[in-house]
Amino acid sequence: MTFWKNQPVPQTRNELEETNGLIREAVNISKNPCKLPVGMYWVSLDLTNETTLNEIYILLKNNYVADANETVRFDYSKDFLKWALSSPNLTLICGIKQFGNSNLISIITGTQEITKCKDVHVKVLAINFLCVHKNFRLHGITPLMIQEITRQANLHNILVATYTSGTFLPTPICTTKYWHRTLNSKNLLDFDFIPKLNLQELIKKMKLPSKVSTNGWRSIQITDSKQVCELLNKSKYKLQRIFETQDIEYLFKNIPKVISSYVVENNGIITDFGSFYQVSLHNLNKQNIISISYCYYYAHTTISLETLIQNLLIESNNQKCDVFNCLDIMDNVSFFENLKFDIGTGNLNYYLYNYGLGKCNPNDVGVIFL
């Protein structure tokens, strides 16, 4: 925690409540990368290069988010990584290698976004991946990665960052909890994702309609982007992502096994929108994999949120996903009981770097990380 004591973040709960707006201006920004331990060097990473993409994939697959016992680990596909890290907005990707070894040993990525903090639109760098190879975690690399991406962001006049972590750092603006909705009961039982229950009873309880019945429900098209953008930006959360039309065109374009987006159209007007993205989870002991769909951004005006999410559950199930996950942010709590969600064991902390917003409740949060 020594590193964080010198960073522009609130150190205590009281300080969190008392801090408002930008904490520190950027001064004397170095033009040179941060100094690394002997034998290591910075690398620029080009995702259009298949070899580079594979290096990132292997690093994350073997060293990124896992449970405490290192028995399950996320597996982000190459297509997912290309989607997540190739935004039309500025994306910074910092990597470290070791002389004499061509393999990546760490990476940190961030994408420029506009985030509304109360009523102020702030240009931020949204951090989505920070990963250090498990053999190098005692080398003090993580603070250097954060310093370097901060330096690069500052050079682009981005002074604020948003990020999440399951780890407690100084100081969360909000702590959220995961909820899960079973789709494929057998696969989840085999994976040990859910408690041992009677399979047939669980299948019966979790059964969904085979298709969506909402009139006007269809996959998104690029011509819907402007209307979807307007819908999403009407939300009124304390911490909220603000979209531009190009964000909609890129982020929500359907990619099989990566991102799925849907709208409700009535007489040429887009009235409702919903989306989810997909990630695999690998059980290292059993060597089996489940597919997880995560609730992404949504907006609704003519159908209830419960109906919208049920439609996404049906679409996820038809795409052979095993479970549908979401956090208790936005308005999600309203549909958990009726749609048979179960509370998970994992927490996710939300953080702001170099900006004071005060404490948020989960339903104040309208920003989703990958």
Q: What interhelical angle do 78-85 and 50-63 show, nearest 10? A: 100
d(CA 326, CA 363): 13
Q: What are phi and psi of 338, to 5 degrees?
A: -70, -30
| 179 and 327 Cβ atoms separated by less than 8 Å | yes
Query: Does residue 171 have an active-site annotation?
Result: no
Catalytically annotated residue among 89, 91, 128, 347: 128
Whole-number Cα distances in Å, 33 to 30, 46, 202: 7, 18, 54
Catalytically annotated residue among 36, 53, 251, 370: 370
Nearest C-alpha neighbor of 332 from the set 224, 214, 177: 177
**CB burial string 135-171: b at 16+ within 10 A, e below:** ebeebebbebbbbbbbbbbbeeebbbbbbbbeeeebb
Quote the strand ranges of 229-268, DSSP E: 239-242, 259-266
Residue labelled with tokens 């011509």:
223
Helix (H, G, I), strand (E, B) or coil at 75: strand
Query: Does residue 128 have an active-site annotation?
Result: yes
Query: Does residue 370 have an active-site annotation?
Result: yes
Q: What is the DSSP string of 202-236?
A: HHHHH---SS---TTEEE--GGGHHHHHHHHHT--
Catalytically annotated residue among 19, 115, 164, 182: 164
Catalytically annotated residue among 19, 53, 92, 129: 129
Which pair of structure tokens corresponds to residue 29? 């920004």
CA 80 from centroid of its chain's CA atoms? 12
Query: Does residue 164 have an active-site annotation?
Result: yes
Please report, as a single letter, which amino acid is at residue 348. Answer: L
Query: Does residue 19 have an active-site annotation?
Result: no
DSSP conformation class of 259: E
Instruction: Give catalytic residues, as residue numbers.
Output: 128-130, 164, 370
